[in-house]
Structure 1
Amino acid sequence: MSEVLVVEDSPTQQQIILDLLKNSGLKVTIVQDGVEALEHVQKYNPNLVILDIVMPRMNGYEVCRRLKSDPKTKDVPVILCSTKAEEFDRYWGMKQGADAYIVKPFQPVELLGTIKQLMRG
């Protein structure tokens, strides 16, 4: 079963994403911040990472940059999922190596479609 790591510090967003992904047959692990995310990816090698941008300890841009610059994790698809909706935020996220950028609040079909597309690749 494919594992998706959700890096999100908002309990409400965690629950929304968790319910959506579990109902789609995915295994979901949730961590609270970027430092935990990097540790988890190194240890468990999930199939995909959904990453909030504004988080304690380390922001999503930094986590994405580190994942994509590490030969061991550079091929793990990363979706940045944030309330930061400006064109510059999207541009900057993609510049850090993100495979997709989704703005909250998102449409469930948009998130699931993006996940399926990236996990097929």
Structure 2
Amino acid sequence: MATVLVVEDSPTQREIIIQLLQKSGLQVTVAHDGVEALEQIQVSCPSIVVLDVVMPRMNGYELCRKLKTDPKTQNVRVIMCSTKGEEFDRHWGMKQGADAYIVKPFQSNEFLGTVKQLLQG
């Protein structure tokens, strides 16, 4: 079964994303910021990381860059999920190595479609 690591500091957003993923049959683990996410990934590498951009201690851009430049984690799929919806934000996220960039609030079917597409690829 595919595992998705949700890295989100907002309890409300985190719960919405977790519920969506679990309802579609995916196993979900959680980290509250980028530092905690890195620690978890060293122990158990997920199939996909869904991460917020604006977080304490380490932002999503930094975490994505670290994952994509480390040979052990460079193949982990990364979906950035942020309220930062300007074209520059999307461009910068993709430049850091993100496989997808979704703007909050998102449509459930768009979000799950992106997750499933990345799991197949």
- 1:65 paired to 2:65: yes
Structure 1's consecutive aligned runs of 4 or more residues displaced over 4 angstroms after TM superposition are none
Write the distance in 2 (CA, Å) between the matches of 1:47 and 1:39: 16
Write the distance in 2 (CA, Å) between the matches of 1:42 and 1:54: 22
Instruction: State TM-score, norm by structure 2.
Output: 0.99
Displacement, 1:79? Answer: 0.2
Instruction: State TM-score, norm by structure 1.
Output: 0.99
Write the distance in 2 (CA, Å) between the matches of 1:50 and 1:42: 16
Write the distance in 2 (CA, Å) between the matches of 1:39 and 1:111: 25
Root-mean-square deviation (Å): 0.5
- Which amino acid letter does the alignment assign opposite residue 79 of structure 1? I
CA offsets 1:33-81 (integer angstroms, 9 cap, x no match): 0001111112101010001000000000000000000000000000000
Write the distance in 2 (CA, Å) between the matches of 1:15 and 1:8: 9
SS in 2 for 1:50: strand
Displacement, 1:30? Answer: 1.0
- 1:85 paired to 2:85: yes
- 1:39 paired to 2:36: no
Partner residue in 2 for 1:101: 101
Partner residue in 1 for 2:21: 21
Pairing 1:46-61 to 2, within 5 Å after superposition: 46-61=46-61
Write the distance in 2 (CA, Å) between the matches of 1:100 and 1:109: 15
Displacement, 1:89? Answer: 0.1
Q: Which runs of 5+ in 2 are unaligned?
A: none
Q: Which runs of 5+ in 1 are unaligned?
A: none
SS in 2 for 1:79: strand
Write the distance in 1 (CA, Å) between the matches of 2:13 and 2:29: 13
Identity %, equivalent residues: 70
- Which amino acid letter does the alignment assign opposite residue 75 of structure 2? D
How many residues align? The count is 121
SS in 1 for 2:4: strand
Write the distance in 1 (CA, Å) between the matches of 2:66 and 2:107: 28
